[in-house]
Structure 1
Amino acid sequence: MGVRPALHFIPAQFELRAWRLMQFLLPPWLRWLRGMSATDIKQAEQFGSGLR
């Protein structure tokens, strides 16, 4: 059903390449992630656990 089951058939190498491509296409997002302070991450974790 859908696309998800098909992902199991994708070789690990292709997955790795796709991840590298994603990292290449989303540098601003990754920079923002790296620039997050520890308190920001803590708050995000608390917010995430609050949603569960």
Structure 2
Amino acid sequence: MSFVLLHIPDTDKILQELFDILNNGGKLIIVDFDKNDKIHHPKVHNGFSQFFNS
């Protein structure tokens, strides 16, 4: 998925649901905006901190 998480209010819920439907050993690859603390808006996220988990 690419650049869609900022449009979803409950990112924890959608990420858990996506993880739950992955096949065993499957991977979810997400491309989204880096966290920017200068952005504050009630309808979008201000980005996400990067982490990698293999």
- Does the pair score TM above 0.5? no
Greater helix proportion: 1
| Superposition TM-score, scaled by structure 1 size | 0.30
Higher gyration radius (CA): 1
